[in-house]
Structure 1
Amino acid sequence: MKFSTLMTAVLLTAGLAATASAQTLKKVADSNKITVSYREASVPFSYLIGSTKAVGFSVELTEAIIDDVRKKVKKPNLEVAYMPVTSQNRIPLLVNGTYDLECGSTTNNSARGKDVAFSINMFYTGTRLLTKKTSGVKNYADLTKKTVASTTGTTNAQVIRKYNTEKNLDMQLILGKDHDDSLLLVESDRAMAFAMDDILLFGLMANSKNPAALQVVGDSLQVEPYACMLRKDDPEFKKLVDGTITRLMKSGEFTKLYAKWFESPMPPKGTNLGLPMSQQLKDNLKAMSDKPAT
Structure 2
Amino acid sequence: MYKQLAITAITLLLTITSQTPSLAGRVLDKIRQTGVITAGARKDAIPFGYVNEKGQWVGYSLDILELIRQQTEKQLGKPIKLQLVEVTPENRFAKIKDQSIDIECGSTTVTWARDKEVDFSVSYFASGTQLLVKKGSNLGTIESLAGMKIGVIPNTTNERAIKLQQPAAQLVTVKDRFEGLQKLEKGEIDGFASDGIVLQGLKRTVKNGNSLEIVPEYPYMYESYACVIPQDESQWRDLVNYSLVQYMEGIVSDQMSSVAIYERWFGQNGKVPYSRDTINSYFQGIIDSYEWIPLINY
**Change beyond 3 A, Cα 1:110–1:281:** farther
The residue that corresponds to 2:122 in the other structure is 120
The equivalent residue for 1:223 is: 222
SS at structure 2 position matched to 1:265: coil
Q: Which amino acid aligns with 2:161?
A: V
For residue 259 of structure 1, the aligned residue among 251, 256, 263 is 263
Pairwise CA distance, 1:140: 3.2
TM-score, with normalisation over the residues of structure 2? 0.81
Give the match for residue 233 of structure 1: 232
Output the aligned Cα RMSD.
Answer: 2.3
Matched AA of 1:226: Y
Distance apart, 1:139 and its partner CA = 2.6
Q: Which runs of 5+ in 2 are unaligned?
A: 1-21, 252-256, 290-298
The Cα shift of 1:73 comes to 2.3
Conservation of the 8 A alpha-carbon contact between 1:21 and 1:27: no
C-alpha spacing 1:178/1:22, structure 2 compared with 1 (3 Å): farther
Q: Distance in 2 between matches of 1:286 and 1:145?
A: 40
The yes-or-no answer on 1:198 pairing with 2:207 is no
Q: 2:33 & 2:23 partners in 1: Cα distance?
A: 12
Secondary structure at 2:103's aligned position in 1?
coil
Where do 1:6-155 residues align within 5 Å?
A: 23-50=26-53, 53-76=56-79, 78-155=80-157
Q: How far is 1:100 from its partner?
A: 0.9
- Listed one character per residue, the Cα deviations across residues 253-291 of structure 1 (whole Å, up to 9, x for unaligned) are 44442222112434xxxxx5332146465243343389x
> 1:159 & 1:242 partners in 2: Cα distance?
28
Letter in 2 for 1:236: Q
How far is 1:67 from its partner? 1.1
1:172 corresponding residue in structure 2: 170
Instruction: Give the whole-Å Cα distance in 1 for the aligned partners of 2:188 and 2:288.
Output: 40
Give yes or no for contact 2:44–2:50 (8 Å, CA) kept in 1.
Answer: yes
Moved more, 214-223 or 235-244: 214-223
Question: In the alignment, residue 39 of structure 1 is paired with which amino acid?
Answer: R
Distance 1:211 1:172 in 2: 25
Whichever residue aligns with residue 204 of structure 2, its letter is A
Question: 1:122-180: CA deviations, max 9, x gaps?
Answer: 11111111101143324332232111111122111011011122xxxx22101111111
Query: What residue identity is the alignment partner of 1:230?
Result: I
Contact 1:94 1:230 in 2 (8 A): yes
User: What is the letter of the counterpart of residue 34 of structure 2?
Assistant: S
Counterpart-to-counterpart distance in 2, 1:21 and 1:82: 24
Using the size of structure 1 for normalisation, the TM-score is 0.82
Question: Aligned partners of 2:207, 2:175: CA distance in 1, in Å?
Answer: 19
Letter in 2 for 1:81: Q
In the other structure, the counterpart of 2:185 is: 187
**Partner Cα separation in structure 2 for residue 34 and residue 62 of structure 1:** 9
- In the alignment, the residues of structure 2 paired with residue 184 and residue 113 of structure 1 have an alpha-carbon distance, to the nearest angstrom, of 33
| Aligned partner of residue 121 in structure 1, secondary structure | strand
**% identical aligned pairs:** 28
Residues 23, 233 of structure 2: 8 Å contact kept: no
- Identify the residue that residue 293 of structure 2 maps to in structure 1: none
SS in 1 for 2:37: strand
| Cα offset, 1:56, TM superposition | 1.2
* Alpha carbons of structure 1 residues 27 and 289: separation in structure 2 relative to 1, 3 Å: farther
